[in-house]
């Protein structure tokens, strides 16, 4: 029975309420949440593999520190004497803390310890409590002639605000009581930095329970927003639940884009689509309308697909008794038509093909940007083995294309079972 519950939690990939575990893993119905917790606690006993946290049950093994290398920073200073401070960087992988301070008795400040602390934090995800800590850290680095911190950072107060939206902690001490962790020593920056490093994986484990409930497994688009409601990132997937949940794994934090998203994310909105291509079209419209900062950063869309960057293609997607034909002109979606399968070629389709690809005034997509062509090309390169497509340029003429196309549309079974590369 314990193994069945462990398997269920492992498959769920996130903390779950006791009632749902009993119902779906053991087929036991419980009258209310309190009774379900008592029953599950009686079943699991003192099994160290399981623990209850904030009303949810999870595998204790999932609370281990994430694989990404982190460093935690803590600073203390007196507002009346800003040049007097204490601070420390804690690096969990080294099991070591690197303190630095300036005392009232110091005539001049030796930046050697500060320089060493910064060196140890390099190439790590820097955990800080809030923005003021990071600002002060950069001011100290500047005063010693050291380069400002330009690596990735995460504000734990913002992450805690997502996990506890109704009672966001105002200090690390408040977070400790919410997580059931030992209170950090407020007088010791090294102890405070160690606490931030230990609290981070616990917070990360609780985020899915807050944001990812009820995600569909269908194709669609997801919009990630910050606390002000602004869209910071738009993505698409053939399986929304799997894709969105992938941002909340330990492996995801090795990716710079995921770290940037986590630093600002407050809510997620999903829009379902019939097919992944529909999701791709919606994604591009959303990016054009909202212009999210993370989508438009060069490093996100700089990789062009090896095939189709400026191609002219017909994309054929079976949809029941019809086929959706997507016309790609110069690497961008230019038109779309739905055509019944097993019938002769509609005159309207032939006219549209002539207009888009072979007319004197070829219909070029208006306002196409490099990143849009890059998204289309990347999609075609990634899915080329599973797409039915015709390379318009290789057919050579409109007459030849209209001669070839009926062989795709005349036999529904053939279209669904065979992959065409041209």
Give the DSSP per-residue string, 174-197: HHHHHHTPPPP-TT-HHHHHHHHH
Task: Evaluate whether residue 192 is within a structural domain.
Answer: yes
Are residue 85 and residue 190 in the same domain, yes or no? yes
In the sheet where 153-155 sits, what is the strand order? 96-102, 81-91, 70-78, 125-128, 153-155
Are residue 144 and residue 98 in the same domain, yes or no? yes
Domain boundary, last residue among 36, 62, 88: 62
Give residues with Cβ within 8 angstroms of 107, minimum separation 6: none
Neighbour tally for 142: CB within 10 Å: 11
Task: Evaluate whether residue 294 is within a structural domain.
Answer: yes
Are residue 234 and residue 153 in the same domain, yes or no? no
Q: Using CA atoms, how far apart are residues 35 and 219, in angstroms rounded to an integer?
A: 37
What is the model's pLDDT at position 416? 60
* 263 and 155 Cβ atoms separated by less than 8 Å: yes
Are residue 367 and residue 273 in the same domain, yes or no? no
Which pair of tokens denotes residue 322? 């019809």
7 alpha-carbon distance from chain centroid? 25
Are residue 165 and residue 95 in the same domain, yes or no? yes
Q: For the domain that residue 229 is a member of, what is the CATH number?
A: 3.40.1440.10
Q: For the domain that residue 119 is a member of, what is the CATH number?
A: 3.30.420.10
Q: For the domain that residue 44 is a member of, what is the CATH number?
A: 1.10.10
Instruction: Please count the structural domains in the chain.
Output: 4
Are residue 42 and residue 98 in the same domain, yes or no? no
By residue range, what is the domain housing residue 95?
Answer: 70-207
Are residue 275 and residue 325 in the same domain, yes or no? no
- Indicate the pTM of the whole model: 0.49
Q: Classify residue 404 by burial, with Cβ atoms within 10 Å: 0-12, 13-18, 19+.
A: middle
Task: Evaluate whether residue 404 is within a structural domain.
Answer: yes
Domain boundary, last residue among 142, 173, 207: 207
Task: Evaluate whether residue 213 is within a structural domain.
Answer: no
Give residues with Cβ within 8 angstroms of 69, minimum separation 6: 91, 93, 123, 124, 125
321 alpha-carbon distance from chain centroid? 36
> What is the mean pLDDT, run by run of 10 residues, along the chain of 422 residues?
79 80 80 79 78 77 52 86 84 90 66 88 88 89 86 83 82 89 86 92 69 79 86 90 80 75 82 85 84 67 48 81 84 83 84 84 55 71 75 86 82 57 38
DSSP code of residue 361: S
Task: Evaluate whether residue 257 is within a structural domain.
Answer: yes
Which pair of tokens denotes residue 49? 């593999």
Task: Evaluate whether residue 306 is within a structural domain.
Answer: no
Closest C-alpha to 73, from 171, 180, 169, 197: 197
Are residue 55 and residue 74 in the same domain, yes or no? no
Are residue 254 and residue 281 in the same domain, yes or no? yes
């Amino acid at each position: 029975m314990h193994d069945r519950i462990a398997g269920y939690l492992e498959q769920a990939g996130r903390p779950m309420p006791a009632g749902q575990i009993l119902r779906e893993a053991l087929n036991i119905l419980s009258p209310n949440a309190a009774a379900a917790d008592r029953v599950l606690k009686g079943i699991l006993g003192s099994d160290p593999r399981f623990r209850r946290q904030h009303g949810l049950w999870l595998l204790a093994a999932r609370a281990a520190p994430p694989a990404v290398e982190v460093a935690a920073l803590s600073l203390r200073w007196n507002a009346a004497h800003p040049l007097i401070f204490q601070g420390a960087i804690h690096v969990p992988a080294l099991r070591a803390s690197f303190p630095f301070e300036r005392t009232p008795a110091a005539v001049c400040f030796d930046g050697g310890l500060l320089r060493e602390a910064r060196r140890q934090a390099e190439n790590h995800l820097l955990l800080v409590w809030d923005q003021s800590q990071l600002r002060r850290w950069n001011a100290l680095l500047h005063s010693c002639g050291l380069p400002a911190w330009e690596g990735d950072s995460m504000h734990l107060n913002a992450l805690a605000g997502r996990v506890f939206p109704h009672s966001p902690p105002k200090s690390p001490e408040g977070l400790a009581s919410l997580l059931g962790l030992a209170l950090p020593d407020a007088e010791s920056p090294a102890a405070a930095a160690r606490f931030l490093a230990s609290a981070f994986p616990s917070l990360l484990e609780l985020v899915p329970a807050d944001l990812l409930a009820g995600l569909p497994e269908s194709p669609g688009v997801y919009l990630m927003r910050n606390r002000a409601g602004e869209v910071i990132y738009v993505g698409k997937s053939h399986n929304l639940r799997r894709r969105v949940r992938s941002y909340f794994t330990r492996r995801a934090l090795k990716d710079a884009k995921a770290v940037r998203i986590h630093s600002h994310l407050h809510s997620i909105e999903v829009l379902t689509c019939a097919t992944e291509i529909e999701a791709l079209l919606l994604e591009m419209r959303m990016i054009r309308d909202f212009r999210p900062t993370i989508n438009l950063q060069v490093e996100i869309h700089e990789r062009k697909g090896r095939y189709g960057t400026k191609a002219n293609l017909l994309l054929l997607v079976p949809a029941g008794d019809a086929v959706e034909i997507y016309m790609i002109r110069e690497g961008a979606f230019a038109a779309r038509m739905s055509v019944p399968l097993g019938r002769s070629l509609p005159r309207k389709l032939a006219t549209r093909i002539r207009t888009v690809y072979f007319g004197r005034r070829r219909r070029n997509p208006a306002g196409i940007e490099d990143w849009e062509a890059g998204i289309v090309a990347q999609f075609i390169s990634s899915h080329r083995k599973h797409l039915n497509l015709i390379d318009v340029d290789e057919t050579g003429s409109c007459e030849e294309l209209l001669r070839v196309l009926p062989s795709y549309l005349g036999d529904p079974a053939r279209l669904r079972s065979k992959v065409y590369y041209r």
